């Protein structure tokens, strides 16, 4: 069985993988039959070789590979033609997926796959030497054929987040008032791991009674919109000292670097969306918020910041954030990556944006 997780939320991914590991049976044997590899440091051939190995005193092995497709897609995009070695390697890997034995549960965890490119759509491998021209099936064809199963594990959006929290509370027999749910979501945001931890902490504090908004205000630090906007504002003004101070404030609340990068990326995406509507003539932040599906407060905060960036700068920042996110998830020191990112974004362009 082969699963593909693209852009899956970190906490939901961890929970889903724990469930898969539990299917291996005895925890000690499950540990012996679980292998995690970093795709950027592995070849496609070595992954297939690992997948072909027999389980030890168990019916199946679990093989988790993070970032393999991300790494190969970058290499393929940098190649000038499909006769490059990286295309040959990927052709062998995609074909080999059909032969992965039932004794292996292979899980590919990646940030994204461009559906316009050959890795997804497939491509033609030209003839070379004794090799005939070959049509290579992409991931899309393998998913449609049932060889690969696309597993969607997306974080709930702002509208769905309260429902996710309520469902999580019910599953754990935790009583929580609606106002407390809304406040907890506002304070923490879409960091599902932290939300789950805060819910447990609040349940212990409430000691059997329903959790109230007062409990949330007392026990949970508001680390969501305001602090992130302070950082984004400092970056927009190219004030490095102010940006680093905002980052330190966020770190004081024990936010993980990966979460902070995701939240900064969210702010930049929001700036692009809002800037587009402002350029189209819309000026009312309530109307913009309604159209984009945001609450009015972050839209109001974002509107003046849009004038500090061009669209190109916002898109470049998002590309850099994606690179940092991948680096963090493939072994780089997360705090160092975040510090360098903030320094870079703080220093870019000093004159006011015009477009």
Cα gap 266→229, rounded to integer Å: 11
Residues 86 and 29 occupy one common structural domain: yes
First to last CA, the chain: 49
Question: Residue 256: what pLDDT?
Answer: 78
The answer to whether residues 133 and 126 touch, using CB atoms and an 8 Å cutoff, is yes
Structure confidence by residue, pLDDT tens digits, 23-55: 998 888 899 999 999 988 899 999 999 999 999
At residue 353, does pLDDT exceed 80?
no
Question: Residue 186: what pLDDT?
Answer: 76
The answer to whether residues 328 and 265 touch, using CB atoms and an 8 Å cutoff, is no
Which residue, 116, 150, 184, sits at the end of a domain? 150
Structure confidence by residue, pLDDT tens digits, 50-105: 999 999 988 999 999 999 999 999 999 999 888 899 999 999 999 999 999 999 99
Question: Residue 309: what pLDDT?
Answer: 87
Measured between alpha carbons, how far is residue 351 from residues 17, 308, 310 in Å? 47, 9, 11
CATH number of the domain that 320 lies in?
Answer: 1.20.272.10
Cα gap 123→139, rounded to integer Å: 11
Q: For residue 156, tell me if it sits in a domain.
A: no
Q: Is 134 helix (H, G, I), strand (E, B) or coil?
A: strand
* DSSP run (H or E) holding 175: none
> Per DSSP, what are the bridge partners of residue 154?
none
Q: For residue 155, tell me if it sits in a domain.
A: no
At residue 315, does pLDDT exceed 50?
yes
> What percent of the residues of the chain are helix, what percent strand, and what percent coil, each to the nearest 5?
60, 10, 30
Mean pLDDT of the chain: 89
pTM above 0.85, yes or no: no
Residues 132 and 168 occupy one common structural domain: no
Structure confidence by residue, pLDDT tens digits, 153-168: 988 887 888 999 999 9
Domain boundaries, position 35: 2-150
Residues 15 and 130 occupy one common structural domain: yes
Of 115-129, 213-227, 316-330, least confident by mean pLDDT is: 213-227
Cα torsion 268, 152, 67, 192 to 10°: value is: 60
Chain-centroid distance, C-alpha 225:
19
Token pair 């950082």 is found at 231
At residue 354, does pLDDT exceed 70?
no
Token pair 């936010």 is found at 255
């Amino acid at each position: 069985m082969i699963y593909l997780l693209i852009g899956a939320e970190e906490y939901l991914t961890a929970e889903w993988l724990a469930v898969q590991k539990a299917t291996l049976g005895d925890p000690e044997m499950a540990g012996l039959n679980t292998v995690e590899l970093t795709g950027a440091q592995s070849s496609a051939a070595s992954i297939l070789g690992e997948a072909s190995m027999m389980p030890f005193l168990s019916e199946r092995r679990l093989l988790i590979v993070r970032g393999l497709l991300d790494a190969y897609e970058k290499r393929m995009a940098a190649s000038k033609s499909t006769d490059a070695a990286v295309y040959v390697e990927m052709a062998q890997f995609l074909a080999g997926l059909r032969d992965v034995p039932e004794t292996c549960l292979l899980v590919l965890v990646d940030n994204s796959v461009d559906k316009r490119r050959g890795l997804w759509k497939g491509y033609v491998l030209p003839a070379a030497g004794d090799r005939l021209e070959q049509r290579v099936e992409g991931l899309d064809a393998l998913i449609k054929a049932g060889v690969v199963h696309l597993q969607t594990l997306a974080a709930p959006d702002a509208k769905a987040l309260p429902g996710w929290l309520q469902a999580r509370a019910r599953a754990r027999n935790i009583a929580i008032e609606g106002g407390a749910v809304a406040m907890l979501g506002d304070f923490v945001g879409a960091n599902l791991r932290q939300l789950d931890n805060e819910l447990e902490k609040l349940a212990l504090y409430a000691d059997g009674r329903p959790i109230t908004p007062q409990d949330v205000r007392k026990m949970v630090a508001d680390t969501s919109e305001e602090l992130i906007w302070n950082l984004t504002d400092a970056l927009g003004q190219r004030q490095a000292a102010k940006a680093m101070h905002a980052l330190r404030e966020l770190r004081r609340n024990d936010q993980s670097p990966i979460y902070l990068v995701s939240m900064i990326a969210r702010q930049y995406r929001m700036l692009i969306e809002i800037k587009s509507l402002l350029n189209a003539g819309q000026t009312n932040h309530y109307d913009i918020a309604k159209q984009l599906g945001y609450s009015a407060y972050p839209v109001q905060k974002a509107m003046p910041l849009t004038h500090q960036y061009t669209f190109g700068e916002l898109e470049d920042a998002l590309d850099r954030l994606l690179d940092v996110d991948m680096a963090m998830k493939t072994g780089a020191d997360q705090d160092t990556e975040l510090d360098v990112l903030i320094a870079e974004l703080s220093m870019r362009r000093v004159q006011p944006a015009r477009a």
